[in-house]
Amino acid sequence: MDLNDYQKAALRTAAPKEKHNELFHLLLGLVGETGEIAEKAEKIVRDQNSDFSQWDIEDLTKELGDTLWYVAVIADYFGVPLEDVAQLNIAKLADRQNRAMLGGSGDNR
């Protein structure tokens, strides 16, 4: 499945953009889903001595899917095809790699 096809499919289960506070709902959902991933990672650090081979990959895949759903719907909220998001991100990272700027912090590296 390509990313734009995924985005179209995700939108079948999204609320209308016009719904009151929908963008706020989507942003909170994205933060919540990424927080769930971080919380599960924290438990592996705490309880499994940071042995990430213990991660339930099926569960991780589901949580990543939930996160992807929110990204796809938020992108659509602003009229941005998910394919464009992916292509721009890869181009940005390749540029940073070419300039030996993958490390460090800040958006404008």
Q: Mean pLDDT across the stretch 76-81?
A: 98
Say if residue 24's pLDDT is above 60.
Answer: yes
- Confirm whether 93 is domain-assigned: no
Is residue 109 over pLDDT 60?
A: no
Phi, psi of 13 (to 5 degrees): -110, 10
Identify whether 107 is part of a domain: no
Exposed / middle / buried, residue 33 (Cβ in 10 Å: 0-12, 13-18, 19+): buried
Asked, for residue 27, whether it belongs to a domain, the answer is yes
- Residue 106: pLDDT band by 50, 70, 90 thresholds? low
CATH of the domain at 50: 1.10.287
The model's pTM is: 0.90
Residue 101 lies in a domain: no
Domain that holds residue 34: 3-81
61 found inside a domain: yes
Residue 57 has pLDDT above 90, yes or no: yes
Q: How many domains are there within the chain?
A: 1
pLDDT of 16 > 80? The answer is yes
